[in-house]
Amino acid sequence: MQPWAFGETPAGEPVQIWSWTNANGARIAVSEMGATLVSLEAPDRDGRLADVTLGFDRAEAYAKNGLYAGAIVGRFANRIANAAFALDGRRHVLNANAPPHCLHGGDQGLHQKLWRAEPSADGRGLRLRVSSPAEEGGFPGAMQAYAEYRWTDENVLTLELTAMVDAPCPISLAPHPYWNLDGHGASTIRRHWLQIDADAFTPAGPDLIPRGRFEAVSDGLDFRVPSPLERSFAAREGRGLDHNFVLRGEGLRPAARLWSPRSRRRLTLSTDRPGLQVYTLNTCPSGLKGVKDGCAYGPQSAIALEPQAFPDSPNQSAFPTAILKPGDVFRAFASFAFDVAESI
């Protein structure tokens, strides 16, 4: 495992990228900026490797677009309504980077910060750490966070996230990779099949702020039985997905599967988080600069499966709390297992 130069953060700090390969010759790469998964190779039906996650070739390109591609987002993943919440009698005002709301921790979120990295003792993983000072982005208290990536010979990527605070604060760190199982440069994921272990979702308004209740999945949102994404899009008049699903069960369990009939690659996501935000890259800036391999990304060319707390939970009493207190440890675990299958 060796690092090399990958550009600079917006603050001018040098960024390194780390890459390592498993026994099958499949490689992954992680950048210190945002603890970002830059690339992941997986074999297809013929054993050919391809990079199946969206990304860019320099750190600077990650700072110039709003995709959050591959990054660890936080302090609070997803949206906080009106960029504010009340806690212990005090109102905290956040950075409204998705006006009037706060998205993924705001402009000073973890996706734009430099994480310090070091390889694990066995050389099969990478551990990254970051600090966030008190009141950064409007969040109370200081936070220390860690991310540990591991890549197995069975083509399983695991990610463990931990965080500690010195004052009560809403904490929900989450990975934000985009997947296209035909290769990151393929034009669409409309023919991918998706299965989600969820009976309900949290309905939201046009601004994607939840209405504070649960609703049974139906029509284009019912993925309890595997279904092609194009069927969901058709049922929703062409609109893609940007929904938080309420996952069944507790603890680490399988949450979703994604499969391509073209490449036969299959991705199985397991998580211990209560919710899964599914986003099909419905809006994508045209002419993105610095895309890997000179590719072009467009709307619905990838899908993000984001295990996390429910959106706006600091303001939603009906949702599970996401408040972390001093002395406690936030922990989140996810695994992304890749194999080849004739069906999902």
Tokens 């309504």 appear where? 81
What's the confidence (pLDDT) of residue 252?
A: 97
What's the confidence (pLDDT) of residue 238?
A: 85
Tokens 């677009």 appear where? 65
Give the pTM: 0.97
Residues in the chain: 344
Structurally, how many domains does the chain consist of? 1
CATH label of the domain that carries residue 140: 2.70.98.10
- CA-CA-CA-CA torsion sign (148, 149, 153, 155): positive
How distant, in Å, are the alpha carbons of 59, 140, 159, 315, 321 from that of 69?
Answer: 11, 26, 16, 27, 27
CA distance 193 to 225: 10
SS3 content of the chain, % helix, strand, coil (to 5): 10, 45, 50
Question: Contact at 8 Å (CB) between 1 and 125?
Answer: no
Taking residue 153's Cβ as centre, other Cβ atoms within 10 Å add up to 10
Question: Contact at 8 Å (CB) between 36 and 27?
Answer: no
Helical residues (DSSP H) of the chain, grouped into ranges: 59-63, 229-235
What's the confidence (pLDDT) of residue 198?
A: 98
What's the confidence (pLDDT) of residue 207?
A: 94
CA distance 124 to 157: 11
Question: Contact at 8 Å (CB) between 52 and 41?
Answer: yes
What's the confidence (pLDDT) of residue 78?
A: 98
**Per-residue confidence in pLDDT tens, the chain, 344 aa:** 889 999 999 889 999 999 999 999 999 999 999 999 999 999 999 999 999 999 999 999 998 888 999 999 999 999 999 999 999 999 999 999 999 999 999 999 999 999 999 998 887 899 999 999 999 999 999 999 999 999 999 999 999 999 999 999 999 999 999 999 999 999 999 999 999 999 999 999 999 999 999 999 998 999 999 999 999 999 998 899 999 999 999 999 999 999 999 999 999 999 999 999 999 999 998 889 999 999 999 999 999 999 999 999 999 999 999 999 999 999 999 999 999 999 99
Q: Is 247 helix (H, G, I), strand (E, B) or coil?
A: strand
Range of the domain at 313: 2-340
Nearest-CA neighbor of 110 among 158, 176, 208, 18? 176
H or E segment and range at residue 200: strand 198-201
CA distance 105 to 96: 9
